[in-house]
Amino acid sequence: MAKKAIPFKAALAFPNRTIINFYSQVRHQKRLLQCIRTVLPEVLAKYARHCVINDKKLLIYTDSATWASQLRFYNKTILAALPPPLKQSVEVMQIRIIREQTGINRQSGEKAIMPSAESIEIIRNHSLAVPDHQLKLALLKLSATLQRLSD
């Protein structure tokens, strides 16, 4: 006997429209990202990974601090390129960095490599001979902190 095919109903065909709302938000964010990428140089555009409008902020996500600082230079250009309805609603642009989840966690018991006692003493002695008062205080604080952490 042949099996009767079970009709498959797509998720969007159900009466719950929550998923449709999410899909429309994702489509809207992708269109906005494409708009932003068109005004950026080609090298920089590929590092603008995602964007979201939250309250009156445009949040652009990138991979590293290097690309984030480069994207900040295009702040006015990006805000000017937004479609007219969004220009009035967005007041601030922020760049956020996406951290990759590698699964490697730093052990809480790991200690930093500390300089030797001789190196700490050299910093302290050198700070006493520095004529600049602010630099002298900074070096004294550094040597005191290094001494405290090495003990």
- For residue 49, give the CATH number of its domain: 3.30.300
Look at the chain and report how many structural domains it folds into: 2
What would the two tokens of residue 148 be? 């405290």
Q: Are residues 125 and 93 in the same domain?
A: no
Residues 28 and 76 in one domain: yes
Same domain, 71 and 134: no
Residue 74 sits in the same domain as residue 26: yes
Q: Are residues 20 and 80 in the same domain?
A: yes
Residue 10 within a domain: no
Same-domain check for residues 23 and 93: yes
Contact status, residue 50 vs residue 8, Cβ threshold 8 Å:
no
Q: Please report, as a single letter, which amino acid is at residue 68.
A: A
Categorize the per-residue pLDDT at 49 as very low, low, confident or very high, splitting at 50, 70 and 90. very high
Between 35 and 13, the higher pLDDT residue:
35
Residues 49 and 79 in one domain: yes
**Residue 31 domain-assigned (yes or no):** yes
Q: Which residue has the higher pLDDT, 52 or 113?
A: 52
DSSP count for the chain of H helices, then E strands: 7, 3
| The predicted structure's pLDDT at residue 114 | 85
Q: Which structural domain, as residue segments, surrounds residue 38?
A: 15-97
Same domain assignment for residues 20 and 83: yes
Query: Is 68 a domain residue?
Result: yes
Is 109 a member of any domain? no
80/86 Cα distance (integer angstroms): 10
pLDDT at 68: 92
Q: Which two tokens stand for residue 29?
A: 């964010």
Based on the fold, state whether residues 22 and 76 are members of the same structural domain: yes
Q: Answer whether residue 82 shows pLDDT above 60.
A: yes
* pLDDT at 61 exceeding the cut of 90: yes
At 86 the pLDDT is 78
Average pLDDT, rounded, for the chain: 84
> Distances from the Cα of 47 to the Cαs of 1, 26, 40, 59, in angstroms?
56, 18, 10, 14
Q: Rounded to whole angstroms, what are the CA distances from 68 to 5, 39, 62, 139?
A: 52, 16, 6, 31
Same-domain check for residues 131 and 89: no
**Which pLDDT score is estimated for 45?**
92
20 and 76 share a domain?
yes
In this prediction, residue 2 has a pLDDT band, given cuts at 50, 70 and 90, of low
Strands (E), 1-151: 50-54, 57-62, 92-97
Query: Is the pTM above the cut of 0.75?
Result: no
Using the predicted structure, report yes or no on whether residue 103 has a pLDDT greater than 80.
Answer: no
Residues 86 and 124 placed together within one structural domain of the fold:
no
